Every structure is written in structure tokens, then in C-alpha cells.
Amino acid sequence: MLCFFVNNIAIAVTYPNQEKTVTMLLGNTISLDPYTDSGVKSGFISCGYSATFNDSEMTVFTTDGIKITSYTNAGWEERTTKIYNLTPHKSGTFVFKANVLYQSTTTNGGSTARTFVTYTIHVYEVTSISIPNSLVLSPGENYTFSPIIVQPEAQANLTWHSSNTAVATVDANGHLYANSAGVTTITCTAYNGVSAQCTVTVNSVLASSISLNYNTYELPKDEMVQLTATVLPENATNKGVRWESSNAGVATVDAAGNVVGVSAGTCTITATTTDGSNLSASCLVTVPAPSSDKLAVNDVVVSKGVQPRLNVRVVNKSDIAVLQFQLTLPEGFGVATPVLTERGQNLFVNMSDVTGKTNCKMFNVMSLNGQPLASGDGVLMQLPLTLDGSVAPGNYSALFDGVSFVPTNGSMAAGEKVIANITIDENQNATLGDMDGDGHVTVSDVTRVIDIYLEGNGE
């Protein structure tokens, strides 16, 4: 009982002793607050305790970090700290008794009183853990374990482990995440080594469809196109495909889907899934026959210091409306503005750089008057070459590729690649009468001389 004096009248306030039952898990720590549990509403507080256990059974700390080492029959130890942290070292039932000292002070004096809070502490130990023996999931799925623990009534501190995190991972709260196909073992372990295991199987997700970026493709000889396979669903476990050509003599395909035209004809390029679903998709590849029209360029032999000229002609042309080709020159060489001959006087020539290729020019040759390119196999134009100081006497080559012909009434047809050899000879003298720079005097050179003379340009 505690007496308070109000206007010199004593008022008795009684706080009864309290009894509390606490359930906890072995290995955990519990905090006890005797002041709050006593029901004291006001007054100066100090706490003492006694206990029926010893240090080998339980350790007691106060909130200021002081370890309590005096126990049963050790008397009361007054402390202003009112929170006690208890850590049990064995299972069983223990008693922790705390006394709460409180007092009231008035102008007419004061009084003190003491009440007790007795804690009966039941400490349980985990004896078994139950989780599912097995689970079957798909990649991307998740699952949360809800272990059944015997004992305690309180939740155990558990650790979780996956034997193969590539297949599935598990976090500290028992949340399971399926990553990829395979099998892993999930182990749940209590503080005292009691554990349970679950075999988790993550099944493969088979492909449900496959498609290609092209269903049909016209591929000129010696050119390449890459076919790309799209395998669905997005979470398919294995998106690998196997490539196959129905006729490698027409077109070949490698493991990356790169298709190369070999010879004229048609074949089917097929991609097949490798995950066991055996789905496939195909592309019909056509390699067109080379055009009967051919690009022809002469070889050139010139003296050092003489400008070489490559003479461009079309052989067996009929009604060609547009001629296209790319010219790749060796290092140190360049090409000047094309010079049109008498046969090519009605032509328009556009020359531009080719993106991504070194020292390469794209040529587009077309008729100005809407008529086909002139018939016959005469020279249409000359490509004057420039040489910088780094070019030494020797043998060089110029590559004409990407050759294509567009007839006035048909679709584009591919022609063969052409290589023109260029010889720079330090001691070679220019051949008299060699008008086209091929190192020889031919009928075409004589014809050119006559044309120039008749046009009044001869000297």
C-alpha cells in the first residue's frame, strides 16, 4: 500500500503483486519491463530481482548492458533501469521475480511502497520442423514456406538454404523463387540443428511457337542474309534452334542462321527447336541465275606517272535501263569524275561513297532519254584513277561487286563480280595509240581515234 497526502489527508493507493506467464524459444532473448507490468502509474521507480535459475541456465542483462550475476537468495539489487533482457540456455520452466519500489513526495512528506511482478518463463526447444517434402514449379513462379514447428508455441528463428541457387533461391523468410529448370534441395534449419528438407523440381517450359524474320528471300550468289528465329513463350527454358538447308548446293546456313547463296536454284532453310518440342519454321530461299548481261572491265598496264583508266562496258546487253555496281580500290588509289564515251553519251552517272566500306564507291548508271543503254559491247565510260605518293610500282586490283542490271520491263538481276588488274611499271613506256589505257592497241582504240577526228577534236 502507498499513502499519498492531499490537503493533509492521507490517501492509500495499493498496487497488487502481479504474475505473468511468458513463453519463449530456446536461443532467443526476451525483454521484461517490471515497471509497466506492475501497473504503477507514477512515482520514482527502482527495480530489484531474484530468480530460481543460475547463470548456466539463463543470462540476464539490464538495458544499460550490465550483466546480472546475483540470483536466488542474493538479496535485492536496486537499479534505476527497469528493463531486463533474459537469454535462456536450456529448455524448461523458470521463475524471475522483480520488485518495484515506488514513492510519492508531497509538501507534508511522502511514503514508499514495494510491489512484486513474478514471471513464470516457459522455454521451449525445437524438436521437429515440417515443410513439404517436394514441390514442382515452373521458372518465374514462387512459393512461401509455412513451417510447422514442434515445439515451441513461439516462432523459431530459422535459416534457409538452397543447394542449387541457379535452379531456385530462398530468402531468410522462406520465400522461394524458381529460376531455371533443374532440381534443388531447400533446407530449413533451427538454431539447434533440427532441420527439414524439400526437394524442389523446376520444370522446363517448352517452346510453343517459332517464327523467322523472312518466309521467302531472294539471295544473289555469294551474298549473305541472316535469318533470325523467334521462339515463344518468352520464358521458354531453351530457345536454341538447329539450322538446316535442304540443298547446300543452292544455299548454305551456319549455326547462327547466316545463309549464303551458292548457285542458282531454290532451297528451304529450316530452324527447328532443340528443347524437345520439335517445332520448326522455314524460309524459301531463291538464288537467281546470273543475268546474261555482264559487266566487263579491262586490265590496265601503265607507266609510273601516267593516269590509269578503267574502261567499263556491258557485254550482251539488250534493254538495260539501269546499271549499278560498287568499286573498291586499293589503298592510295582514288577515282575521278567518270568520262562518258560516244556510246555512253546519253547516260547519267551518279558516284557516291559506300557507308561502312573503305575506299569504296557506288555507281548508278542510267539513261537520260529513257532509252535502254546502247546495244553492243563498246565502252560506255572510263573511270580515271588517281594515285597518291604512297603507290609504288607493282600489281594492284580493283573489285567491281554488287553488280546488278535493271531491264526496262523486268526486275533487277545480279551479275558476276569483276576484278580488274592494274599494273604500275616504273620503266614501262606508254604504248602509242593506246586510247583506252589497257596497254594494247586494239580496234576499239582505232575507232576512238576516228571518232575524235570526225568530231573535230583530233590533232
- pLDDT means per 10 residues, the chain with 459 residues, are 45 71 83 82 65 77 63 46 80 84 58 80 86 91 89 70 96 93 93 90 92 92 92 90 96 96 94 94 89 82 87 78 92 94 87 93 89 72 91 93 80 78 72 49 50 38
Peptide bond into 152 cis (omega under 30): yes
Give pLDDT, residue 360. Answer: 95
Per-residue model confidence (pLDDT) at position 284: 95
Cα–Cα distance measured from residue 294 to residue 308, given in angstroms and rounded to the nearest whole number: 22
Contact 184, 200 (CB under 8 A): yes
What does the pLDDT read at residue 444? Answer: 54
Burial class (CB in 10 A: 0-12, 13-18, 19+), 365: buried
What pLDDT does residue 243 have? Answer: 97
Tell me the β-bridge partners of 423: 301, 395
pLDDT of residue 372: 78
Q: Cα–Cα distance between 429 and 286 in angstroms, integer?
A: 49
Q: Tell me what pLDDT residue 81 has.
A: 54
pLDDT at residue 449, as a whole number: 43
Predicted local distance difference test score (pLDDT) of residue 452: 38
d(CA 301, CA 425): 7
CB 364, CB 324: distance < 8 Å: yes
pLDDT computed for residue 186 by the predictor: 97
**pTM of structure:** 0.41
Q: What's the pLDDT score for residue 45?
A: 62
Q: In whole angstroms, what is the distance from residue 199 CA to residue 111 CA?
A: 67
Q: Kindly report the CA angle at 227 between 411 and 225, in degrees rounded to 5?
A: 45
Nearest to 170 by CA among 183, 188, 147: 188
Cα–Cα distance measured from residue 100 to residue 15, given in angstroms and rounded to the nearest whole number: 10
Identify the pLDDT of residue 235: 82
